[in-house]
């Protein structure tokens, strides 16, 4: 059977037999680089959902030869994993409960689902084995009396370790390999007559298990927990997983790790420091110091109280800067930011992974980790919560298992809440106020419904401004063009503006700040011209006030890299085209105002007052940043370098620029830099891992507009040290030794430096051979015994000779002394006609070729590259080759 599979990212044809649905889903999973679990399959037109009965063959669930199957992927859980390259499956960490029996629980997990021996029984097995082998397990080995040790190990508070793992490995005839996260070393416990092996991960204080699965999923049903003894690929993958965990600060070294008292929030180093503090203060609650949230103001660190005590997944300001929130595993903390940060409320919603504020900061919306409640019905837990920060209540909640597109939207005055519904067939509108305590989702105040029963919307965007409108994008389907329609809220009978176009599977909708004009960036995966791997992009402009629409004509082929509106709402800028790209500015009607010279740039940022424009090349470009004065005919102010930038923002005052390198895009050189608009570095700070950064939003009314660029303030000490270090590095890299390079043999003999390479000399030899000149001495080549042949003189040479003779006669008649003519050298007998190379010359060419190869090998040896014995012997023969060349008449000049 040949079936076309279409995922959100790609489309491909699969050829396979009438296999069970589980194998078909595995084949689909192989197509997805992220290995997301398959959530839904749809077949036919209009698409109909497929019943996901894994044991049923695909023909019985309605999939036929030639059908197109549309795939929807589910949520990717936050599980550490690495790819097992040969099988294209995944080796992932399986968390074991954090108690004193974690080693026994991890071993039990590794034995498989059918393993019925309990943890307490495993402890009894260890005790029995020690009692039966007193000659092996002595008090010296156990560290205490064997009977006392056996009594201790059977209690639930006793930790297991190397002794217990070796006993269990022998007892159950399985090999156990523990990978230490801190060192990435493997400690093996080989079981007697073992044919299978398992892997455990050890953090320093805790054991977790390792499993193999075809998908990155929380479900452990299809886990492979044991492998054949000697599985090198699994061993290497587990070591890579340990190193990945090491980079995430998973390892705990009891002598060096940083710990925080959860009662007084003091920080200590190692187990000894914590024990001393516990003895002195009586505090007993401690936690490992995690990555934290910091607020930076005037270069002074301010950390909100209560401080983060566990991993923070998201931190965010409200759009007006009045509130700040960050997540913890058990709750979300919200702070008031006026003056010193003070706790406003603690929202007790667990496992929150993303958050957003409403425009005025009245509502906090949270997206938590979804949980599948019923696999057969596909029912998920309610994981989107809307929290009223005035009434301190959750006013509504619903289920959204995919993180993409989970966020609801609000009008600018927060009078209407907007959310998608019914599989992108409807959009519901709910009228709310600041004191609302409950929203009944089944009773929307207004409703938009797609008229075409076969169509669904792909995106929508609510406008800012006083007169709210909504733009809705419906992709092309069944030969019908795509469309963007704009409606006034809540009048959905007739759009106030619309635009139809083809080549649009997705669309990015971007309003100007007044909500009077809309940019629609439409894209499609397939490029009909076959010029771009990334498909085609087209830009459209829709004017709400004047009810006009147009396609923005760009004068350079290639993708659109960035679009952005000016804060004034009167113009926008576009970066487009194959590199070097073009950057053009347009007015609100779509007419070009100004174009920058072509350069490798892909990012545009207006300053808050729209006075300055930043045009930069980030991502896979070198990080060059140009600053232009918009009000002075786009004159360039400065150019500076900010390589590896993943975040770039203007400060609210419009005088400074923040650039930062963040994880996970880059795992090295994480940190932030603050630049003055004149290009001078003002402040910098490095982090081992920086995940998120941004300015606190503030109204531009607090900052007067710039009439001219102010002088940069003095650089902070951190910036001065960084600039000084960079200058030293650059001076070291640019320094060159005086004089030309002299090869070792020239240094020994005191000969002058060669002015040409061996290759150049050989090429000159070949050129000389073509014109009948001896490449060794410059004399005409001769063959002993051959008759002497005078060289043929060309017409031009004869003409020039006559001119020279006439000139000499004139000089003689004028009385000037006549120089004595030097007779031409007598040609040796037997000169060769036709450029035939002699045996001596062939030998010289062969030796020169060997000499060039030796020079290459010597350069490799100088760079520390390992050489084979035959290559070293070639280098040792250099002097012999040079002596032979000299004997043939060649000289190294």
State both tokens at 444.
């929307």
Integer CA distances (angstroms), 339 to 292, 335, 342, 594, in order: 21, 11, 8, 43
Query: Can you name the residues that pair with 70 across neighbouring β-strands?
Result: 6, 42
CA distance 536 to 533: 9
Over residues 790-811, the mean pLDDT reads 71
pLDDT (tens digit, 9 = 90+) per residue, 35-44? 677 778 888 7
pLDDT band at 128 (very low <50, low <70, confident <90, very high): very high
Signed CA dihedral, 105, 108, 114, 115: sign only: negative
Contact residues for 584 (Cβ-Cβ < 8 A; gap 6+)? 554, 555, 573, 574, 576, 592, 593, 594, 595, 596
3-class secondary-structure state, position 773? strand
**Mean pLDDT, rounded, of the chain:** 81
Percent of the chain topping pLDDT 70: 81
How far is it, in rounded angstroms, from Cα 66 to Cα 13?
9
CA 553 from chain centre, in angstroms, equals: 32
Among 407-411, 424-428, 477-481, the minimum mean pLDDT is found in 477-481
Integer Cα distance of 217 and 79 in angstroms? 8
Span of 243-247, 263-267, 754-758 with lowest mean pLDDT: 754-758
* Confidence check: pLDDT of 402 > 90: no
Q: Judge whether residue 76 has pLDDT over 70.
A: no
* Predicted local distance difference test score (pLDDT) of residue 826: 41
Tokens 């919307």 identify what position? 457
767-772 mean pLDDT? 51
Structural domains for the chain: 2-73 (3.10.20.90), 81-247 (3.90.70.80), 258-288 (no CATH), 294-400 (2.130.10.10), 552-727 (2.130.10.10), 756-775+834-893 (no CATH)
User: Using an 8 Å Cβ cutoff, are 718 and 685 in contact?
Assistant: yes
CB neighbour list of residue 724: distance below 8 Å, 6 or more residues apart: none
Q: pLDDT tens digit string along 609-630?
A: 999 999 999 988 888 999 999 8
Residue 401 near residue 370 (C-beta atoms within 8 A): yes
Residues in contact with 332: Cβ distance below 8 Å, sequence separation at least 6, in sequence order = 325, 326, 346, 347, 349, 352, 355, 364, 366
618 DSSP β-pair partners:
none
* pLDDT the model gives residue 743: 61
User: 465: alpha, beta or left, given left = phi > 0 and alpha = psi -120 to 50?
Assistant: left
Torsion angles phi and psi, residue 108, rounded to 5 = -60, -40
Token code pair at residue 326: 């960050």
384 pLDDT tier (thresholds 50, 70, 90)? very high
Using the predicted structure, report yes or no on whether residue 164 has a pLDDT greater than 50. yes
In angstroms, the CA 616 to CA 829 distance is 72
Is the model's pLDDT at 696 over the cut of 80? Answer: yes
Q: 694 to each of 167, 230, 361, 668, how far by Cα in Å?
A: 54, 49, 17, 19
Question: In Å, what is the CA distance from 477 to each residue of 6, 86, 146, 474?
Answer: 14, 39, 76, 9
Answer yes or no: is pLDDT of 380 > 70: yes
Omega into 306 within 30° of 0, i.e. cis? yes
């Amino acid at each position: 059977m040949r079936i076309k599979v279409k995922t959100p990212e790609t489309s491909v044809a699969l050829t396979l037999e009438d296999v069970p649905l589980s194998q078909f889903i595995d084949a689909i999973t192989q197509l997805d680089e992220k290995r997301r679990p398959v959530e839904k399959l749809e077949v036919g037109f209009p698409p109909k959902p497929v019943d996901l009965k894994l044991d049923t063959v695909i023909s019985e669930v309605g999939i036929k030869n030639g059908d197109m199957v549309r795939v929807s992927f589910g949520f990717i859980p936050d599980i550490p994993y690495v790819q097992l390259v040969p099988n294209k499956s995944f080796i992932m960490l399986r968390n074991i409960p954090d108690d004193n029996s974690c080693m026994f629980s991890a071993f039990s997990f590794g034995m498989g689902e059918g393993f019925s021996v309990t943890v307490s029984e495993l402890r009894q097995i260890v005790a029995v084995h020690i009692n039966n082998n007193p000659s092996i397990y002595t008090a010296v080995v156990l560290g205490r009396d064997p009977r006392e040790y056996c009594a201790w190990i059977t209690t639930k508070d006793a930790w297991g370790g190397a002794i217990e793992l070796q006993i269990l490995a022998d007892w159950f005839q399985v090999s156990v390999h523990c990978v230490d996260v801190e060192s990435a070393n493997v400690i093996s416990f080989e079981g007697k007559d073992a044919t299978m092996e398992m892997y455990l991960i050890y953090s320093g204080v805790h054991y977790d298990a390792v499993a193999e699965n075809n998908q990155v999923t929380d479900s452990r049903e299809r886990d492979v927990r044991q492998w054949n003894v000697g599985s090198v690929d699994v061993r290497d993958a587990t070591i890579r997983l340990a190193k990945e965990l090491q980079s995430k600060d998973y390892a705990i070294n009891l002598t060096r790790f940083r710990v925080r008292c959860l009662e007084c929030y003091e920080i200590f180093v190692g187990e000894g420091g914590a024990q001393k503090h516990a003895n002195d203060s009586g505090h007993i609650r401690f936690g490992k110091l995690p990555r934290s949230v910091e607020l930076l103001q005037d270069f002074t660190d301010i950390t909100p109280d209560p401080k983060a005590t566990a991993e923070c997944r998201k931190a965010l300001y409200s759009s007006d800067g009045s509130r700040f929130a960050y997540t913890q595993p058990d709750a979300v903390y919200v702070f008031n930011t006026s003056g010193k940060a003070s706790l406003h409320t603690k929202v007790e919603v667990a496992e929150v992974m993303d958050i957003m504020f409403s425009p005025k900061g009245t509502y906090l919306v949270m997206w938590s980790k979804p949980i599948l409640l019923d696999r057969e019905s596909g029912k998920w837990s309610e994981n989107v919560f809307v929290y009223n920060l005035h009434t301190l209540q959750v006013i509504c909640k619903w289920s959204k298992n995919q993180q993409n597109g989970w966020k609801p939207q609000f009008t600018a005055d927060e009078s209407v809440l907007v959310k998608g519904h019914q599989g992108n067939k409807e959009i519901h509108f709910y009228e709310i106020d600041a004191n609302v305590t409950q929203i009944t989702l089944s009773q929307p105040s207004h409703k938009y419904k797609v008229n075409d029963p076969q169509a669904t919307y792909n995106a929508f965007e609510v406008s800012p401004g006083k007169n709210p409108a909504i733009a809705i994008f419906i992709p092309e389907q069944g030969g019908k063009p795509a469309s963007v329609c704009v409606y006034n809220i809540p009048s959905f009978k007739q759009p106030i503006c619309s635009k139809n176009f083809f080549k649009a599977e997705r669309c990015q909708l971007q309003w100007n700040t007044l909500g009077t004009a809309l940019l629609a960036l439409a894209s499609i995966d397939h490029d009909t011209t076959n010029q771009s791997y990334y498909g085609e992009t087209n830009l459209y402009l829709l004017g709400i006030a004047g009810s006009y629409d147009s396609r923005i004509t760009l004068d350079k082929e290639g993708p659109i890299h960035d679009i952005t509106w000016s804060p004034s709402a009167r113009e926008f800028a576009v970066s487009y085209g194959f590199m070097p790209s073009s950057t053009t500015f347009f007015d609100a009607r779509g007419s070009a105002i100004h174009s920058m010279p072509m350069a490798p740039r892909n990012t545009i940022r207006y300053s808050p007052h729209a006075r300055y424009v930043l045009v930069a090349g980030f991502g896979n470009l070198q990080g060059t940043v140009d600053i232009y004065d918009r009000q002075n005919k786009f004159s360039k102010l400065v150019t500076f370098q900010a390589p590896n930038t993943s975040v770039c923002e203007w400060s609210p005052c419009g005088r400074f620029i923040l650039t930062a390198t963040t994880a996970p895009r880059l795992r090295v050189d994480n940190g932030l830099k603050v630049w003055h608009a004149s290009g001078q570095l003002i402040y910098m700070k490095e982090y081992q891992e920086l995940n998120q950064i941004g300015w606190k939003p503030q109204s531009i009314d607090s900052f007067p507009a710039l009439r001219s660029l102010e002088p940069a303030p003095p650089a902070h000490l951190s910036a001065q040290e960084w600039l000084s270090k960079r200058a030293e590095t650059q001076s070291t890299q640019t320094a060159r030794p005086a004089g030309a390079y002299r090869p070792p043999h020239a240094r020994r003999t005191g000969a002058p430096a060669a002015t040409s390479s061996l290759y150049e000399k050989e090429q000159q030899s070949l050129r000389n051979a073509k014109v009948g000149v001896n490449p060794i001495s410059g004399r005409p080549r001769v063959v002993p015994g051959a008759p002497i042949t005078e060289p043929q003189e060309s017409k031009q040479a004869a003409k020039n000779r006559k001119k020279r003779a006439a000139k000499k006669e004139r000089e003689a008649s004028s009385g000037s002394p006549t120089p004595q003519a030097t007779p031409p050298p007598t040609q040796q007998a037997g000169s060769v006609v036709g450029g035939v190379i002699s045996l001596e010359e062939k030998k010289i060419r062969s030796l020169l070729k060997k000499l060039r190869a030796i020079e290459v090998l010597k350069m490799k040896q100088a760079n520390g590259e390992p050489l084979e014995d035959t290559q070293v012997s070639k280098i040792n023969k250099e002097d012999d080759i040079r002596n032979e060349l000299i004997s043939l008449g060649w000289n190294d000049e």
